[in-house]
Structure 1
């Protein structure tokens, strides 16, 4: 990253640039081996009392003493995608939310408070798209009370790493004592190459509801309650895939929600003893072909950052990162 003008390093950012994407270079103490420099790129979220705070694409907050800055400038948003579908954060946030709906929800301004008996953080967290209609401190208090009344921990779901995402909100959550607990990546791809893979899908059964066999492989509970089934059944056009096995539970399962041009893949699970046999690919291919029949052309999915096996699988299918989302929990 070039910081110089006429060969001189310059700090060309000010507190007025809060909310913009910046690149800075700071001086660091290398422990007796001399001065070293570190670059940080992200959204400038605050500049107060001599401390500059930047939120990286990963969601990590970096706090820099102002006197250690040696260079800095405002930089454009991340480059546009070079392959796969074009999509804004606002579009994907709405699509992913419709694919995993809560049992109960309530508006707080433009925010949506969601609950489903504690089944998954996604269905039991605030979706803060817009203005809550209150100062943030008051809004966070309302959120805490709403979840306390339901015997649930209070979570807020945020996103970073895309134009229009929520780095400023992440910083405010941290300032009010909320802590980032789990992060995952939203990935997107063209749908046709997923459906065109050379997978033998004739044995895969597609249904509109999860049957007992599907639920036996979905390892999120011992006995699913009605709130679990309501979440799983939610979405514009929902399909469940089952690759049968020799026992009571199938070898592999998956879920797909078709919503306009988008097909969202989730709950792709394979029996441990059947892994590395291409069953996850088979299930996703069968679901992708059904979604193509319904007119979808783009695909999305979510994968946690530490799931290396799934990330490698999705890399091979052409999925690339769009943004990251995080769940912040009230302290």
Structure 2
């Protein structure tokens, strides 16, 4: 790895390079009386309080003390790949979980129990006082992610998970994958036999990233930011009254961006969310205002976010879309996404009211 410029090593990155692909060398000690160095290449996702965070291609996040840097530079993004990527169900489920993170997690063998409990204000009557109710912000952040053996017999694992969610005022939900040889078909069958009902069937779709950005559309009017503002949250139909917990989920992930197309008469015409994690660019929350649909704004948002993801070194795209959302399915068909696998949730027999 070559860092020398004019015969000397230089740190040639600044805080303004956050979001770019960088190569860094840091001092890690001594070996046989000589300085020892370690190199890292990835996207500079943050630089705060004297610590740099670099996300490598495989999704690993490396934290580096600024004081240990001996050389650093911005490097070109890896060449964009135009073929649909190969991936396992486990890889995609793991990346998607990092891109939509729960606030609280607990491990049970290779299962992860996830929760993002929020206090949601509820108007009791017109002009009356508000009372709070507990809810989980989205099923994805409030369900078991089973990526292997729970380490205990299945009935015991389910009992533990049910108690864990009950302690948080939530129903017990398990995310199960379908449609591929490496999916959760055996677990799905076991849950069905135990009376766990199915709900919210979803398609996980993937595509090459480069073609999403390779359009003639002018994306200069799409605003990108690291935080969702009030207009973005108003159009996002799951947020309701934004809570701190909802914001924590929405802004969580290795490198998160929010896209917004301002409306000419004020407000927001379209939005989207992107999370870059190694080679993967995850798209979500693509919404268009009711009066602005069928004008290509969703595709424009996707193109702007894809451009940013390519700049950060991603090459593959994924998203999750409800199986019964025909309009979204048709859009993603046109953009070149293909189904990789499906997933849905299994709800425990005593699940009670649904979470968000």
TM range (shorter): 0.7 to 0.9
TM-score (norm. length: structure 2): 0.69
Partner of 2:310: 292
* Residue 341 (structure 2) pairs with residue 323 (structure 1): yes
Deviations 1:143-192 (A, max 9, x none): 11111110011100010112311000000111111011111000000000
**What is the CA–CA distance in structure 2 between the aligned matches of 1:296 and 1:288, rounded to whole Å?**
9
**What is the CA–CA distance in structure 2 between the aligned matches of 1:222 and 1:247, rounded to whole Å?**
23
Q: What is the SS of the residue equivalent to 1:251?
A: strand
**What is the CA–CA distance in structure 2 between the aligned matches of 1:209 and 1:83, rounded to whole Å?**
31
**What is the CA–CA distance in structure 1 between the aligned matches of 2:276 and 2:265, rounded to whole Å?**
30
- Displacement of 1:109 in angstroms is 1.1
Contact 2:321–2:329 (CA under 8 A) maintained in structure 1: yes
Contact 1:235–1:257 (CA under 8 A) maintained in structure 2: yes
**What is the CA–CA distance in structure 2 between the aligned matches of 1:212 and 1:153, rounded to whole Å?**
30
**What is the CA–CA distance in structure 2 between the aligned matches of 1:224 and 1:154, rounded to whole Å?**
24
Deviations 1:234-284 (A, max 9, x none): 111100000001455310000000011110000000001100000000000
* Residue 195 (structure 2) pairs with residue 193 (structure 1): no
Between 1 and 2, higher relative CO (CA 8 Å, sep ≥ 6) is seen in 2
- Give ranges in structure 2 of 5+ residues lacking alignment: 1-81, 118-135, 350-356
Contact 1:217–1:249 (CA under 8 A) maintained in structure 2: no
Q: What is the SS of the residue equivalent to 1:199?
A: coil
Partner of 2:236: 218
**What is the CA–CA distance in structure 1 between the aligned matches of 2:90 and 2:166, rounded to whole Å?**
29
**What is the CA–CA distance in structure 1 between the aligned matches of 2:265 and 2:182, rounded to whole Å?**
48
Cα gap change, 1:95/1:173 in structure 2, threshold over 3 Å: closer, same or farther? Answer: same
Q: What is the SS of the residue equivalent to 1:202?
A: helix
Q: Say how many residue pairs are matched.
A: 250
* Residue 144 (structure 2) pairs with residue 126 (structure 1): yes
Contact 1:213–1:248 (CA under 8 A) maintained in structure 2: no
Deviations 1:173-213 (A, max 9, x none): 11111011111000000000001122221111000111112
Partner of 1:314: 332
Contact 1:104–1:116 (CA under 8 A) maintained in structure 2: yes
TM-score (norm. length: structure 1): 0.74
Partner of 1:237: 255
Among candidates 164, 178, 181, match of residue 163 of structure 1 = 181
Partner of 1:43: none
Q: What is the SS of the residue equivalent to 2:328?
A: helix
Partner of 1:258: 276
**What is the CA–CA distance in structure 2 between the aligned matches of 1:153 and 1:216, rounded to whole Å?**
27
- Displacement of 1:222 in angstroms is 2.7
Q: How does 1:51-70 map to 2 (within 5 A)?
A: none
Contact 1:89–1:163 (CA under 8 A) maintained in structure 2: no
What root-mean-square deviation, in Å, do the aligned CA atoms of Structure 1 and Structure 2 show? 1.3
**What is the CA–CA distance in structure 2 between the aligned matches of 1:298 and 1:224, rounded to whole Å?**
31
> Runs of 4 or more off by more than 6 Å in structure 1?
none
Contact 2:233–2:239 (CA under 8 A) maintained in structure 1: no
